[in-house]
Chain A
């Protein structure tokens, strides 16, 4: 007897959850590589600002040190490491919970206050910022951030469009923009994606429809491929 759609769906769901349980870190944002899109973008913006900067910045206390930033609005940490092994000095941005010298727990709104030149100690006193580890490192990172004067809104809008990979992540564009601009929207988008993805995974009728579409596409690509062959032959003929 053929299993009903429902049975098949449940089987597929079970299979999927079994698969997920053997994986480390099962967060959806991980498999979509959102943290990596975010860190690649931040790294680009920060190092561009560093290369244009003409104020004197001191990296001595933070050379090869890592600051971890945990933002209430983000589901993953951001780590900033100053690399002075080659010149110019660069800041590497990663998303990892391992190996920080100092960590700050805060929110985007508090970071805005920091940017508006409120001091780190003031914000700690007001309980808006939670620092653990070497506070001198946090202080120096804060100084660097204040000196760089990055217009985050403009830069993020500009660069998110530039990261080529990001355009190709089917849902990445939408999610990443909200992730970096209005962090709160993220969870909602992710659940929306999850619903969408789940639907794709479990519905057998959709798989059948997809199979048909694949066949159609295959025949189109066959003719495209014949045209490419011709093109290659033409190019070869001209060389």
Chain B
């Protein structure tokens, strides 16, 4: 499977909305606080990430005061990655986790950076190539709900700050479960619900007053950052996500709150 093969196989998923095959589900979903048709979510999320791709890394550092790097380090530490492992960095965007995994799986291992959005993948690919990371990384444009990999392929799947953008999260979790090897683990790093009411307030205030302003000033894109703040609030809280993982088949599920629950890392195994 070469990177170019994969890319040419994938249609431009980011601009072609998928028709939902979940007949018994309602036809609407959330886009931040807005309720929209499910079929429209992919293209609207794509719009956000096409728009922020170039400024994504700078904004990430700025918005989280650089703490996202520590959250990602924590994820790598919890992954138990070993030389020779096959890792899927799903919704991997500009490839921060991929870069670290690539160094840890070694020549015998493989890391696949998968994202639905071609702009994010391109920024990621350029960044990793500039860092000289070419040996063991493949780039695949794919929707988390319909992963184009064989069953039982990966030792580790990570999805960092990606799941909340996915239209049908349950379907994505089932799809991830299927591509994990027995014994493999899923790590979901995502914004979550702060543990303390007072932190919650400070955080709300920051997200809705400061963050969109920063987006406007730095990335000239306040709207996308307003979406970001809203999508975080609409994302399932810690316990709900844990339940969702269990429903998708994951076992020994647990989560760890980071920075007071602003972010949580969920872990689950396929046995």
Say yes or no: is A225 at the interface (Cβ < 8 Å to chain B).
yes
Q: Evaluate contact between B256 and A85: CB separation under 8 angstroms.
A: no
Which residues in chain A, 119-134, are within 8 Å of chain B measured between CB atoms? none
Segment at the interface with A among B50-58, B102-110, B114-122:
B102-110
**Which of B73, B102, B216, B257 is the most central at the interface, judged by chain A CB atoms within 10 Å of its CB?**
B73
CA distance A214 to B203 in the complex (A): 11
Which residues in chain A, 169-205, are within 8 Å of chain B measured between CB atoms? 169, 200-201
Give the shortest distance, in Å, between A83 (CB) and chain B (any CB): 4
Give the shortest distance, in Å, between B127 (CB) and chain A (any CB): 14
B66, B80, B83, B255: the one contacting A64 at CB < 8 Å is: B83
Q: Evaluate contact between A30 and B217: CB separation under 8 angstroms.
A: no
CA distance A225 to B65 in the complex (A): 20
Say yes or no: is A145 at the interface (Cβ < 8 Å to chain B).
no
CA distance A36 to B66 in the complex (A): 12
Give the shortest distance, in Å, between A207 (CB) and chain B (any CB): 6
Supposing A64-B83, A99-B82 touch, asked if A83 and B104 sit within 8 A by C-beta, the answer is yes
Contacts of A31 in B (CB 8 A): 256-260
Say yes or no: is A87 at the interface (Cβ < 8 Å to chain B).
yes
Q: Evaluate contact between B258 and A23: CB separation under 8 angstroms.
A: no
Contacts of B83 in A (CB 8 A): 64
Q: Chain A 20-43, CB within 8 Å of chain B: the 1/0 string?
A: 001111000011010111011000
Q: Evaluate contact between B267 and A228: CB separation under 8 angstroms.
A: no
Contacts of B107 in A (CB 8 A): 64, 85
CA distance A94 to B216 in the complex (A): 36
CA distance A94 to B104 in the complex (A): 11
**Which of A40, A94, A210 is the most central at the interface, judged by chain B CB atoms within 10 Å of its CB?**
A94
Contacts of A98 in B (CB 8 A): 80, 82
Contacts of A214 in B (CB 8 A): 201-202, 205
Say yes or no: is B67 at the interface (Cβ < 8 Å to chain A).
yes
Say yes or no: is B100 at the interface (Cβ < 8 Å to chain A).
yes
Contacts of B216 in A (CB 8 A): 232
Chain B binding surface, main DSSP class: helix
Q: Evaluate contact between B80 and A24: CB separation under 8 angstroms.
A: no
A87, A99, A207: the one contacting B197 at CB < 8 Å is: A207
Which residues in chain A, 81-123, are within 8 Å of chain B measured between CB atoms? 81, 83, 85-87, 90, 92, 94-96, 98-99
Q: Evaluate contact between A168 and B67: CB separation under 8 angstroms.
A: yes
Contacts of A90 in B (CB 8 A): 103
CA distance A102 to B100 in the complex (A): 21
Interface size class of A (residues with CB under 8 A): 35 or more
Give the shortest distance, in Å, between A238 (CB) and chain B (any CB): 14
| CB nearest to A19 among chain B residues | B195
Supposing A165-B65, A228-B217 touch, asked if A210 and B254 sit within 8 A by C-beta, the answer is no
Supposing A90-B103, A99-B81 touch, asked if A40 and B69 sit within 8 A by C-beta, the answer is yes
Q: Evaluate contact between A94 and B77: CB separation under 8 angstroms.
A: yes
Say yes or no: is A164 at the interface (Cβ < 8 Å to chain B).
yes
CA distance A19 to B255 in the complex (A): 10
CA distance A71 to B195 in the complex (A): 31
Which residues in chain B, 194-208, are within 8 Å of chain A measured between CB atoms? 195-198, 201-202, 205
Say yes or no: is A57 at the interface (Cβ < 8 Å to chain B).
no
B61, B71, B256: the one contacting A24 at CB < 8 Å is: B256
CA distance A232 to B136 in the complex (A): 44
Contacts of A83 in B (CB 8 A): 103-104, 106
Interface positions of A (Cβ within 8 A of B):
16, 19, 22-25, 30-31, 33, 35-37, 39-40, 63-64, 81, 83, 85-87, 90, 92, 94-96, 98-99, 163-165, 168-169, 200-201, 207, 210-211, 214, 217-218, 221, 225, 228, 232
List 17 contacting pairs A-B, 8 Å CB cutoff, sorted by A: A19-B195, A24-B256, A31-B256, A31-B259, A33-B258, A36-B73, A81-B103, A85-B103, A85-B136, A86-B133, A92-B100, A163-B66, A210-B201, A214-B202, A218-B209, A225-B209, A232-B216
**A214-B202, A221-B205 known, 11 other contacts, Cβ within 8 Å:** A23-B255, A24-B256, A25-B256, A31-B258, A64-B107, A85-B135, A92-B104, A164-B65, A169-B67, A210-B198, A225-B213
Interface positions of B (Cβ within 8 A of A):
61, 65-67, 69-71, 73-74, 76-78, 80-83, 100, 102-104, 106-107, 131-136, 195-198, 201-202, 205, 209-210, 213, 216-217, 238-239, 242, 254-260, 267
